[in-house]
């Protein structure tokens, strides 16, 4: 599984959740996790979550993670949501190590009751995709819900720490997936 | 998914990891999570982890969790390990709420470098099984590795809190599995 | 699995066979069976059965059933057709209890050699869908095949009985699916 | 799918439910349905249904059907139970054509509230197995439940009709499975 | 599995790789292998291989094979690529019997370092598709890679032999798939 | 996927086909291919092929290959047989490069009508296993079938070449499996 951190300030508009985005746009072949910092504004036609219809999904500055898995064929949405949960738990755990204690509910992370993140999973027949976005600040987020950004969670947190934090999250996730693969090869089944 | 907490001081000897144990011994039908406090001494013939061969797996007092899932047919060890990881993350998270900050590596939990838990997953064609055991004290644990028990992690922690903690872990896990089921029903796939 | 009977006289135009129709149109989340009485006229672009191309699929008044299942991931057309067959057998059985003895061939039901019903199954990666439509009368059905409606099968049958019959069919199907889930949890496998 | 009717009066002792029985005992290779008339007395160690433990499963004379499917790999118990239900519905339907109106609940068939049949499904990783047994008479059946045999359901029913009935059931089931295979090849999926 | 050899000089434009092409265009229902001789010019919008984007895929005269499988549900791209490899190995083997010794790398066949063939696999949820095209001559092939046609590989090879060769390849592949089905039914699993 | 060539003259007695043999006996963890030269004499209780019952499966000197795959969960016998066929085709192809032209039928290889090899595939829920054995000489092979060994196929062939040949076969197979994994990540699905 490859990890690539993009330097550009790319808009997450929902198109990146499509299968093969990493290969088509970044020439990144195979299972991968891509991360960058940039705004979010999801086009209605790119919505994956039917419950999000008629809601604005936007933020001026977020850390984005796009994950794609090809290891399970056919891909299925159930396994994908298991991995999404594992990823979100790793995010929560990593933030905690940086002194930011959050609360998780399903695939959402909250700080003092304020929404810090958005996430969705989807799949095609051949790959599983996960998007996880976490506000850096709450600027440009929807007005109908209380939101917060990482920089507002802690005075201690800055872009340098964000950068370290992103690396740690991605490497932990990659390690987790690989360690599961390894555990299978030592386990008796009935 | 059913949750049952047993009052008896049952020995975990490895036989409980077998499929249909909950139904055959407890008349608990369907997917379930069972928990109790008791010693552990795994019989060599019940070993599931081929890396554990020739190691003693024992402890005088542990919190045991036995999970069985029938929702995916055929059952597979890969999905089972995903759920095991989710469970262990929930345990770590819950302990943290009780003031016990641990470190997780794969399916093991450590406190200040000392091993706090053991875990294994397995499956048959029709069900997935998970065992997670966490030392209450380090009495009776193997001498060749450094271990610790919950009561030794914090002066604050006692049997009453353990009881609350067990409930919280089990309910969080059940909620998590159900919330994944629900998320599937609102998600567009490609 | 949820059951909803619609009071409106909705046209079945084939769009209802699409995954997530129940959620998008009726806010019905999860596995469900929806039933209503209304006409049918399938738009060519909504055809699922490649053998129906260039055939008119229409009727002035039918009982419609739309089933969606999310319990198996990934969804597959083979399992879906097994469930469709089970559903059609339940329909035949229920009609028999109301004194209407029909003949079944695959997913079609006939009364005295006249076609009483239409049915199709399909799936996406994440859900299985079944449509079953049964003529209330034969008005507006295609002229190139002999058709019949329930009211023409028996003088005894009326809208009140149709209403009871619909409930019975849906409840029997829901019971059947649940009883299968339960049988899995008591069965030894090799 | 092959169909073989055995002339011998073979005891059903539960060993026939094991995968590859038809190949090992009858040199019948591949998916098959085997039928014969004979007694039943299931050895405790051959029990598949954990709910049957400590119950006597016996009858002096039954029609036995043993089905094995290799078409789905890996085999799974859920699909197997779907097929069992389809088979039992076909049995009920066929009996009805012979004038015997029965009531079905899950995989059991009753005549006037009396149990007429027993059934179980199971699988290994590579094949699905179904046993369905129907009393010819109620002689030798357990005393703790009310049972009945086909000959006691109708004065009209005799061994000649039983023979015709067996053929009809088996051929209908084989046709059903094949028609599902065919429907898959004409169906658009999303 | 059906085999059909077309007499017409049909252009392979990439549309034939779509699921259900054989049924929709040729009324060929079920798993099949179709073969014909004709040119190739793939329309950009029909490209399946993301690595082929911006490359010309063309040839004036090729032997085309289009395979579709419905036997595994849901269909998956991994199994499909296994079958494609088996097919290409059979092609290489058959050519060898006709005195043309080629070299294979993945799904490509080379003669003295020159590319002789193109191939792709894909699937929908319900069927697996394979295209394999082999140049009869190298006329009209892209100029940026060295290519060759069968007639240029050997003076001995002519259209009559090509015809025999096509039959042999198709029959060998059909035999192979069927022999796998049969081997399953004689094999003990753990 | 790991490759290990053993120097010892190990007897293949059928026990090596069991899942986890490479891990339990050789500490080789994960998917692997193991090869060695040694005799074969399969114990009746280790027989996997039900058609081999009552046949002697033996040879004084064979090249043995034992393959185990953990990449597909749950493992299934159908995919396993596809890989076995690919492996046998690679063996045939490699022998051909060494000047030994053989004929393949299913999983058997013949030289001038004489049997050169034996093979079987099997699986548990979590791994797929393949054994392929090829006679070095025909000494000690069953008398009721005509057999041959590699050294008898060609005067040119010796132990040094056998050694090179084994490496080539194993590396080609490993390459093939990996190239399939890669092709998946560049392929559009429907």
pLDDT of D3-22, one tens digit each? 999 998 999 999 999 999 99
pLDDT band at residue A20, thresholds of 50, 70 and 90? very high
Cβ-contact D180, C130 below 8 angstroms:
no
**Average pLDDT rounded to a whole number, residues F139-158:** 95
Chain E nearest-CA distance from D45, in A, is: 19
C-alpha A6/C-alpha A38 separation (Å) is 10
| Cβ contact D125–F74 (<8 Å) | yes
* Continuous segment of H or E residues that includes residue A163: helix A159-184
C-alpha D102/C-alpha F25 separation (Å) is 58
C-alpha A50/C-alpha A40 separation (Å) is 18
Share the mean pLDDT of chain C. Answer: 96
E62 backbone dihedrals φ, ψ, rounded to 5°: -135, 155
pLDDT band at residue C43, thresholds of 50, 70 and 90? confident
**Average pLDDT rounded to a whole number, residues B158-183:** 97
Residue B59 has pLDDT above 90, yes or no: yes
**Average pLDDT rounded to a whole number, residues B52-66:** 93
C-alpha A82/C-alpha A103 separation (Å) is 18
Cβ-contact F23, B50 below 8 angstroms:
yes
Report how many Cβ contacts below 8 Å link chain A to chain C. 22
The lowest-confidence range among A51-65, C174-188, F25-39 is A51-65
pLDDT band at residue A52, thresholds of 50, 70 and 90? confident
C-alpha F56/C-alpha D35 separation (Å) is 34
Which residues of chain F neighbour D20 with C-beta distances below 8 Å? 50
C-alpha E173/C-alpha E90 separation (Å) is 7
Q: Of F14, F15, F27, which Cα lies nearest the Cα of F6?
A: F27
Measured between CB atoms, does F74 come within 8 Å of chain B?
A: yes
Per-residue pLDDT reduced to its tens digit, B67-89: 999 999 999 999 999 999 999 99
| Cβ contact C82–D83 (<8 Å) | yes
Per-residue pLDDT reduced to its tens digit, F17-37: 999 999 999 999 999 999 999
C-alpha B162/C-alpha B168 separation (Å) is 10
Chain A nearest-CA distance from F58, in A, is: 30
| Cβ contact E189–D126 (<8 Å) | yes
Measured between CB atoms, does A83 come within 8 Å of chain B?
A: yes
Q: Across the interface, which of D19, D49, D104 has its CB nearest the CB of C190?
A: D19
Measured between CB atoms, does C126 come within 8 Å of chain A?
A: yes
Measured between CB atoms, does E5 come within 8 Å of chain D?
A: no
| Cβ contact D73–F79 (<8 Å) | yes
For D:162-181, CB contacts with C below 8 A are 176, 179-180
Per-residue pLDDT reduced to its tens digit, C72-120: 999 999 999 999 999 999 999 999 999 999 999 999 999 999 999 999 9
Q: Which chains touch C (3 or more CB pairs under 8 A)?
A: A, B, D, E
Suggest the residue from E50, E75, E83, E89 to mutate for an interface test with chain F (most F CBs closer than 10 A).
E89
Residue F53 has pLDDT above 90, yes or no: no
Which residues of chain E neighbour F48 with C-beta distances below 8 Å? 187-188
Q: What is the pLDDT of residue D171?
A: 98
Q: What is the pLDDT of residue C75?
A: 98
Q: What is the pLDDT of residue A75?
A: 98
Chain F nearest-CA distance from D29, in A, is: 10
Residue C121 has pLDDT above 90, yes or no: yes
Share the mean pLDDT of chain D. Answer: 96
| Cβ contact D186–E23 (<8 Å) | yes
Q: Searching chain A, which residue's CA lies closest to the CA of residue F27?
A: A186
Residue C3 has pLDDT above 90, yes or no: yes
Measured between CB atoms, does F53 come within 8 Å of chain A?
A: no
Residue A79 has pLDDT above 90, yes or no: yes
3-state SS assignment for residue B175: helix
Measured between CB atoms, does C78 come within 8 Å of chain E?
A: yes
pLDDT band at residue F134, thresholds of 50, 70 and 90? very high
Q: Across the interface, which of D51, D72, D190 has its CB nearest the CB of C124?
A: D190
pLDDT band at residue A100, thresholds of 50, 70 and 90? very high
Report cis status (omega within 30 of 0) of the bond before C149.
no
C-alpha F66/C-alpha B188 separation (Å) is 43
- Comparison of pLDDT for A54 and D180, the residue scoring more: D180
Which residues of chain E neighbour A73 with C-beta distances below 8 Å? 76-79
**Complex-level ipTM beyond the 0.90 threshold:** yes
Report the percentage of chain C scoring pLDDT > 70. 100
Chain E nearest-CA distance from A72, in A, is: 9
Torsion over CA: C72, C75, C76, C81 (sign): positive
Residue E36 has pLDDT above 90, yes or no: yes
Q: What is the pLDDT of residue F8?
A: 86
| Cβ contact C23–A50 (<8 Å) | yes
Cβ-contact B32, C184 below 8 angstroms:
no
C-alpha A82/C-alpha A123 separation (Å) is 13
Q: Searching chain D, which residue's CA lies closest to the CA of residue C185?
A: D50
Q: What is the pLDDT of residue E66?
A: 98
Residue F55 has pLDDT above 90, yes or no: no
Q: Across the interface, which of D20, D24, D73 has its CB nearest the CB of F77?
A: D73
Q: What is the pLDDT of residue C147?
A: 97
Per-residue pLDDT reduced to its tens digit, B3-31: 999 998 999 999 999 999 999 999 999 99
Region for D138 from its dihedrals, namely left if φ exceeds 0, alpha if ψ lies in -120 to 50, beta otherwise: alpha
* Continuous segment of H or E residues that includes residue D94: helix D77-97
Measured between CB atoms, does D50 come within 8 Å of chain E?
A: no
Tell how far CA E23 is from the center of its chain.
Answer: 18
Q: Searching chain A, which residue's CA lies closest to the CA of residue E52?
A: A24
Suggest the residue from C73, C185, C187 to mutate for an interface test with chain B (most B CBs closer than 10 A).
C185
Residue F138 has pLDDT above 90, yes or no: yes
Report cis status (omega within 30 of 0) of the bond before A74.
yes
Measured between CB atoms, does C79 come within 8 Å of chain E?
A: yes
pLDDT band at residue F132, thresholds of 50, 70 and 90? very high
| Cβ contact E186–F123 (<8 Å) | no
Residue C168 has pLDDT above 90, yes or no: yes
Cβ-contact E85, E107 below 8 angstroms:
yes
Per-10-residue mean pLDDT, chain D, length 190 = 95 97 97 98 91 90 98 98 98 96 97 97 98 97 95 94 98 98 97
Distances (CA, A) of D51 to B24, B57, C180, D39, E186: 9, 33, 15, 22, 32
Measured between CB atoms, does D53 come within 8 Å of chain E?
A: no
Measured between CB atoms, does F76 come within 8 Å of chain A?
A: no
- Comparison of pLDDT for C44 and B163, the residue scoring more: B163
Cβ-contact A124, A75 below 8 angstroms:
yes
Provide DSSP, C11-73.
Answer: -B-SGGGSTTHHHHHH---SSEEEEEEEEEE--GGG--BGGGTTS--EEEEEEEEEEEE-SSS
Q: Across the interface, which of A70, A186, A189 has its CB nearest the CB of F29?
A: A186
pLDDT band at residue C55, thresholds of 50, 70 and 90? confident
Torsion over CA: C73, C75, C80, C81 (sign): negative
Measured between CB atoms, does D79 come within 8 Å of chain B?
A: yes
**Average pLDDT rounded to a whole number, residues E96-122:** 97
Q: What is the pLDDT of residue C53?
A: 85
CA angle C103, C109, C114 (to 5 degrees): 80
Suggest the residue from F94, F98, F187 to mutate for an interface test with chain E (most E CBs closer than 10 A).
F187
Residue A8 has pLDDT above 90, yes or no: no
Per-residue pLDDT reduced to its tens digit, D101-131: 999 999 999 999 999 999 999 999 999 999 9
Cβ-contact C136, C151 below 8 angstroms:
yes
| Cβ contact D77–B20 (<8 Å) | no
Q: What is the pLDDT of residue B44?
A: 87
Q: Of E166, E178, E172, E158, which Cα lies nearest the Cα of E31?
A: E178
Share the mean pLDDT of chain B. Answer: 96
Q: Across the interface, which of B20, B23, B74 has its CB nearest the CB of D74?
A: B74
């Amino acid at each position: 599984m490859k990890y690539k951190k993009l330097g550009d300030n790319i808009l997450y508009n929902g198109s990146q959740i499509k299968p093969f985005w990493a290969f088509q746009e970044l020439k990144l072949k195979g299972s991968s996790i891509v991360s960058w910092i940039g705004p979010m504004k999801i086009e209605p036609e790119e919505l994956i979550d039917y419950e999000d219809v008629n809601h604005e999904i936007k933020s001026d500055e977020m850390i984005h993670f796009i994950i794609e898995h090809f290891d399970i064929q056919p891909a299925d949405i159930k396994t994908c949501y298991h991995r999404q949960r594992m990823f979100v738990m790793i995010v929560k755990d990593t933030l905690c190590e940086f002194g930011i204690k959050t609360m998780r509910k399903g695939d959402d992370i909250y700080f003092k009751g304020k929404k810090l993140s958005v996430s969705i999973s989807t799949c095609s027949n051949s790959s599983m995709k996960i998007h996880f976005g976490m506000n850096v600040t709450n600027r440009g987020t929807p007005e109908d819900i209380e939101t917060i950004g990482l920089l507002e969670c802690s005075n201690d947190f800055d872009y340098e720490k964000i950068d370290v934090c992103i690396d740690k999250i991605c490497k932990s996730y990659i390690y987790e997936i690989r360690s599961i693969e390894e555990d299978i090869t030592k386990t008796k089944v009935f």
